[in-house]
Amino acid sequence: MCESTLPVVRRSVGMVFQDPDDQLFMPTVEEDVAFGPLHLGLAQGQVKQRVDHALETTGIGHLRRRPPYRLSGGEKRAASIATVLSIWPDILVLDEPSAFLDPRSRGRLIDLLNTFHHTKIIATHDLDLALRLCGRAIVLSEKTVCGDDTIHAVLRDTTLLRNAGLEPPSTGSCPVCGRSGQVV
C-alpha cells in the first residue's frame, strides 16, 4: 500500500478490535462513533447523520451519552461496531467478535452481523459463529493456510480442524432433551 491510497483504504475498510476497550477511548459513546467521520473531514451535519444511523443500526441509541467504561461487554461490542459503521466502510474486518460475550450478547451480535451487506472478514476460533455468518472459511495454522473451502466443507474435515487445534460446532444430542443438533 502506498501513501496515496491510504485515505481510500481508511474509508473502505473498517476494523473492529477483539477487545472493545482498545477501540473505545472517548468520553461518550456518541463521541467515539463520531471520531471516524470527523477525521474523514465530513461536515457536522453528515457526522450527526452517520452517528445517528450507526447507533440506530446497532440498537444502542439509548447509550449515546454513556461513557464506554460503564457499558456491558455486549454494549461495548455494539459500540465498537457502531464506530466502524459510521465511516460507511465497504469491508468489515472483525477480530474475534464473540470474545468476552455472554450467550445472549453473542446471539445478538450474530443477528446484527447477519443484517450487514458488507464484505466481512472475521478472524475467529468460534466456529459456530463462522457457520452462522460465513460462506467461506480459510483455516490458518502456524501462519500457514491449511484449508480454504466452503464453511460446511471445512467443518466436515475433522482432520483439518484437529490439526489446526479447532473443534467443530456441537452436532451431538442434547443431554437434557435428547434432540439431535444437525449443524453441518
Nearby residues of 169 by Cβ (< 8 Å), 6 or more positions away: 127, 128, 131, 155, 183, 184
pLDDT in tens, the chain (184 residues): 577 788 788 779 999 999 999 999 999 999 999 999 999 899 999 999 999 999 999 999 999 999 999 999 999 999 999 999 999 999 999 999 999 899 999 999 999 999 998 899 999 999 999 999 999 999 999 999 999 999 999 999 999 999 999 988 876 555 555 565 555 5
Q: Buried b / exposed e across 131-170, counting CB within 10 Å, b at 16+? A: bbbbeebebeeeeeeebeeebeebbebeebbeebebebee
Q: What is the pTM of this model?
A: 0.84
Domains for the chain: give ranges and CATH numbers: 12-126 (3.40.50.300), 135-166 (no CATH)
What is the reported pLDDT for 128? 92
Cα→Cα distances 94→5, 107, 122, Å: 22, 16, 5
Rounded Cα distance, 89 and 86, in Å? 8
Residue 14 forms beta bridges with which residues?
Answer: 92
